[in-house]
């Protein structure tokens, strides 16, 4: 890969080297990448990998629509896109430094002189002056220092491109997770509403039994207390729904529209299929691409600082004319020319140049360590998501069984309470277990869906690559879409 070739070439010039070797340019060092795992250690991977863009695997058209909207209107992406445009402009400007700089000038002025005539009277004389000038300057790139400057800004542009891709992937993931969390919050509100209805039935039943002398005042008080607790739970769940909706609206650039409604549908996840070798992750993750480009840039800065110790050659030339007759300023006979070549060698600067070069060399070491850390974190994030999916699947299945048994127990307790064979404590406990199991199942499904999004993000967008298009030039413009 061109990017990897540039990385190795730069590090051979700058990375992991002594200062003495750096001064002479005789640096021969090759970076040692972290050891990649041979296979993913997390167990339980079955089947084949998903195909197509990763969002398709959630089978949720609304989620896909919201992610597309966020990529168009998110302000974080707008800022990152502007950063990329600025980096591209800087690159164009730096390329211009290799070419001569030419400027033109024009001037006009007036002069009044006073003299004494033969009679002793003051005589004034007014005259105008006109001037034209053309100046050119150019620095010869004897050692490649200026070319290194161009490479630096091009590396900066590559960093901006990778950071934009990373930001795009992050915003897509955040939007997908925000949509999942909003659906989960609505589902939890439905559980709270079901809790309120169950507590209301229990309270009515207990009050009827109390009126017939079949229940005690304690039973009534307990039933009413449980009912009040259910009312409080609904208020808390509605607050959570509002907060989840506002978080999503901020990502979409819609806030404070307060118009997003969720159907409380959580995606059903199948087991993760087999994925490719861990080493392929290096070519997919945009944060790794950004770290690579930063290593290249650091190496180029160090090389440029070393070349600043060498002589520089500047060539200047000028053409100028000045006359009190406007027509003569355009006469070639009156044009004066000047050319100068200047060779400059730094002799003494108080150690500034060498210290600056040494500092840049140390920054190469920093970038190398950051790159290695980024790679290790990337592998760890994939492993975490793979392992978590298996545990979350087990948890989800167990919660399904717990909910089924709790529902049977609640139905049995309600019938036995009506028959007077169990106390209200048994009924409230059975209801609480069923409602808690239903809420826990929602949480388990939410956690598994969220982990699946994080798994795709850890892979750099999915087993086969990002699967997302770059945002358009209008990305970041505020606006909204029809309410899902």
pLDDT tens across 104-150, in order?
Answer: 888 787 776 777 767 767 777 777 777 788 888 888 888 888 888 88
Coil/strand/helix, residue 128:
strand
Measured distance CA(171)–CA(252) in Å, rounded: 9
Burial class of 345 by CB neighbour count within 10 A (0 to 12, 13 to 18, 19+): exposed
The packing angle between helices 145-211 and 61-73, to 10°, is 130
C-beta separation of 159 from 354 below 8 A: no
Cα–Cα distances in Å, from 148 out to 94, 294, 357?
Answer: 10, 14, 14
Tens digits of residue pLDDT in 335-348: 666 777 777 777 76
pTM reported for the whole predicted model = 0.78
Digitized pLDDT (tens) for each residue of the chain, 484 residues in all: 344 333 333 333 333 444 454 555 543 333 446 777 777 766 556 666 666 688 888 999 999 999 999 999 888 888 999 999 999 998 888 888 888 888 888 878 777 677 776 776 777 777 777 778 888 888 888 888 888 888 889 989 999 999 999 999 999 999 999 999 999 999 999 999 999 999 999 999 999 999 999 889 999 999 999 999 999 999 999 999 999 999 999 999 888 877 888 898 999 888 887 776 777 777 888 998 898 888 888 888 888 888 888 888 888 888 777 766 666 666 676 666 677 777 777 776 777 777 887 887 888 888 888 888 998 998 889 889 988 998 999 999 999 999 999 999 999 998 999 888 999 999 999 999 999 999 999 999 999 999 999 999 998 887 665 555 444 444 444 444 333 4
Measured distance CA(273)–CA(108) in Å, rounded: 79
The DSSP string of 199-211 is HHHHHHHHHHHHH
Task: Please list, in sequence order, all residues whose beta carbon lies within 8 angstroms of the beta carbon of residue 458, skipping any fewer than 6 positions away.
Answer: 378, 381, 382, 384, 385
Neighbours of 276 (CB within 10 A): 13
C-beta separation of 267 from 59 below 8 A: yes
Closest CA to 316 of 299, 344, 338, 283: 338
Which sign does the torsion angle of CA 363, 364, 370, 373 carry? negative
Closest CA to 98 of 143, 142, 140: 140
Measured distance CA(257)–CA(285) in Å, rounded: 34
Structure tokens at 104: 């033109």
The DSSP string of 191-247 is HHHHHHHHHHHHHHHHHHHHHTTSS-HHHHHHHHHHHHHHHHHHHHHHHHHHHHHHH
Coil/strand/helix, residue 129:
strand
Write down all domains in the chain, each with its CATH number in brackets.
Answer: 2-99+146-307+355-458 (1.20.1600.10)
Coil/strand/helix, residue 285:
coil
What is the DSSP code (8-state) at residue 45? Answer: -
């Amino acid at each position: 890969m061109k990017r990897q070739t540039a990385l190795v070439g730069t590090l051979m010039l700058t990375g992991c080297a002594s200062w003495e070797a750096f001064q002479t340019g005789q640096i021969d060092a090759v970076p040692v990448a972290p050891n990649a795992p041979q296979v993913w250690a997390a167990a339980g991977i079955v089947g084949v990998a998903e195909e197509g863009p990763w969002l398709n695997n959630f089978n949720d058209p609304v989620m896909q629509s919201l992610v597309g909207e966020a990529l168009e209107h998110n302000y974080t992406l707008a800022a990152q896109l502007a950063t990329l445009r600025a980096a591209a402009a800087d690159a164009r400007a730096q390329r211009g430094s290799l070419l001569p700089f030419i400027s033109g000038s024009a001037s006009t002025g007036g002069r009044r002189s006073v003299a004494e005539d033969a009679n002793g009277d003051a005589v004034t004389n007014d005259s105008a002056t006109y001037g034209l000038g053309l100046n050119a300057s150019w620095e010869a790139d004897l050692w490649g220092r200026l070319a290194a400057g161009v490479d630096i800004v091009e590396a900066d542009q590559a960093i901006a491109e990778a950071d934009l891709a990373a930001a795009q992937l992050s915003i897509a993931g955040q939007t997908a997770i925000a949509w999942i969390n909003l659906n989960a919050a609505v589902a939890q509100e439905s559980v709270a509403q079901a809790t309120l209805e169950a507590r209301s039935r229990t309270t009515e039943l207990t009050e009827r039994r109390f009126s017939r002398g079949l229940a005690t005042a304690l039973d009534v008080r307990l039933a009413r207390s449980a009912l009040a607790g259910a009312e409080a739970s609904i208020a808390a769940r509605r607050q959570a729904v509002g907060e989840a909706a506002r978080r999503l609206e901020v990502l979409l650039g819609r806030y404070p529209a307060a118009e997003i409604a969720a159907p409380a549908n959580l995606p059903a996840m199948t087991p993760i299929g087999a994925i490719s070798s861990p080493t392929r992750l290096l070519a997919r993750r945009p944060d790794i691409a950004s770290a690579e480009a930063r290593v290249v840039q650091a190496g180029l800065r160090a090389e440029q600082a070393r070349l600043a110790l060498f002589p520089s050659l500047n060539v200047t030339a000028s053409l100028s004319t000045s006359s009190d007759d406007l027509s003569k300023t355009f006469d070639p006979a009156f044009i004066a020319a000047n050319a100068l070549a200047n060779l400059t060698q730094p002799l003494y600067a108080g150690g500034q140049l060498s210290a600056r070069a040494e500092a840049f060399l140390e920054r190469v070491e920093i970038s190398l360590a950051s790159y290695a850390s980024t790679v290790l974190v990337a592998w760890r994030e994939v492993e975490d998501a793979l392992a978590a999916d298996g545990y979350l699947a087990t948890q989800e299945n167990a919660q399904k069984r717990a909910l089924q048994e709790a529902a049977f127990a609640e139905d049995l307790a309600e019938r036995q309470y009506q028959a007077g064979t169990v106390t209200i404590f048994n009924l409230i406990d059975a209801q609480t277990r069923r409602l808690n199991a239903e809420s826990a199942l929602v949480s388990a499904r939410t956690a598994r869906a969220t982990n699946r999004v994080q798994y795709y993000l850890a892979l750099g967008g999915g087993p086969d690559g990002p699967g997302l298009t770059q945002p358009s030039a209008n990305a970041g413009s505020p606006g909204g879409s029809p309410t899902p």
